Amino acid sequence: MSDYESAFKSEEYPFSSNWIKIQNHKMHYLDHGTGFPVVMLHGNPTWSFFYRNLVKKLCSNFRCIVPDHMGCGLSDKPQIYDYCLTTHIDNCISLIEKLKLKKFNLVVHDWGGAIGMGVAARMAEKINRLIIMNTSAFADSFIPLRIAVGKIPIIGEFAIRQLNLFVQAARYMATVKENGLQGEILRCFLYPYNNFKNRIAVYNFVKDIPMHKFHRSYNELKFIEKNLSLFKNRSITLIWGCKDFCFTPHFMARFKEFFPKAKCYPFYDANHYILEDKTADVTEIIENAFLKNENN
């Protein structure tokens, strides 16, 4: 147990920690519950804490595996590191291979969508059911101005890492809660990103959004998009907070084009952090989707 992890305690997050060592860095993950495996991949600027209520809901019937991407949550935050889409995909595959998962359900949100579908494209035979929430896994020309500003060299890094504007803004802009995230929930969301160095992955996730074909992650994203067709006949559930200013219902509609058989649950009074805004509804939908045939 690292000093950093041992300093974090919360009744909201009553799980034991695990690590996998990748290229001399430790990636933190939860491995909680028993049964058919469920891998949950978070986005930016969240961490495994985002899935805490889903883990609590599923753990009596499922083995919940929730990594913190490198640079996020309780994982190491190396300052010299290749923070890009391909690396995050490779890291998740390393964890899945270490745990020797033969088959698993996959839950994705935000950047976890591209990372997760990148994992799925490389391990298609292992994917059982898919839950997709407020994310993207294909090239798209839409990017909100508030996100685009974060990609501006020097200015973006100063705003995100020095001023912490990205993490702080999310507490209000990613939820429909009148006063934003508050109290212990807010403390836990903010905990891993409490200084300039610890916000390195937050900035690099924004920097790594591929908006043109010359971006280093563009070809990876196009590979993922091309391979979405592998899952068109799988059991897929789309769950969407329709007040999301970033992953708007436009992205849900695009996923429906790739997955016309997918079940769709739009929540018109929920925002990007849909597991915060609609905890009971969303966790029940996911549990029911998995319990229908958990051993397929």
Mean pLDDT within 173-202 = 96
- State how far the Cα of 205 lies from the Cα of 45, in Å rounded to an integer: 9
Q: Give the chain's mean pLDDT.
A: 92
Mean pLDDT score, 186-196:
96
Confidence of residue 194 (pLDDT cuts 50, 70, 90): very high
Q: Where are the domains of the chain?
A: 3-291
pLDDT tens string 78-96: 999 999 999 999 999 999 9
pTM across the whole model: 0.94
Taking residues 194-199, report their average pLDDT. 96
Please state the rounded mean pLDDT for residues 67-73: 98
Neighbours of 201 (CB within 10 A): 27
Topology given in CATH for the domain delimited by 3-291: Rossmann fold (3.40.50)
Round to the nearest angstrom and report the end-to-end CA distance of the chain.
36
Cα R_g (the chain), whole angstroms? 18
Gap between the Cα atoms of 103 and 265, Å rounded: 25
